[in-house]
Amino acid sequence: MSMEELRLGSSMDLANSRYYLSLGRTEESRHEALKAKQKQRLDLRADAFRTLQKALKDLHSYRYQPADPQSGQPFRWMPNNKHKRSNADDLHEQQVDEVVDFDGNAAQVAEFVELHA
C-alpha cells in the first residue's frame, strides 16, 4: 500500500496512473475503490502505530542481564510480571492510544502533551 495515489492530498495525475486505471472499468468505480483503499491505509497505519507503541512499552518494562564475555554468559532478557500492572500503567496506555488517533497531526500531539505533562 505504498502507492503514491493512496496518500491523501497527493498531487498525482490520476489519468496517467496505471495503478489508478487498474482499480476499475469506470471513473466512478475507480474513484470509489481509491477512496476505500485510502481509508484502509489510514486504518492500517493507526493500528500499526498502536501495536508498535504497545510492543515498545512492553519491551521497556523488561529487565535484562548484560552479556559477560569473561564468564561466557550471554545477554539475557528477564521476563516482566504482567500481573503486577499499576493503574498508572493503564492510564499511560490509554493516553498512548489517544496520541495515535491524532493521525500524525503534530500540533494536536503537542497540545495533548502540554495538557497531560
In the block, cell 489517544 appears at 98
Beta carbons within 8 Å of 49's beta carbon, 6+ residues apart: 100
51-71, pLDDT tens digit by residue? 999 988 888 777 888 888 898
Q: Which structural domain, as residue segments, surrounds residue 53?
A: 1-83
94 and 61, same domain (yes or no): no
101 and 61, same domain (yes or no): no
C-alpha cell at 41: 491505509
DSSP label at 39? H
Element spanning 64, H or E: strand 63-65
17 and 58, same domain (yes or no): yes
Rounded (10°) angle between helices 106-116 and 87-100:
160
109 and 59, same domain (yes or no): no
99 and 68, same domain (yes or no): no
70 and 112, same domain (yes or no): no
The domain total for the chain is 2
Q: Which residue stretches of the chain have pLDDT < 70?
A: 1-2, 4, 6-11, 80-117
76 and 94, same domain (yes or no): no
Distance CA 36, CA 43 (A): 11
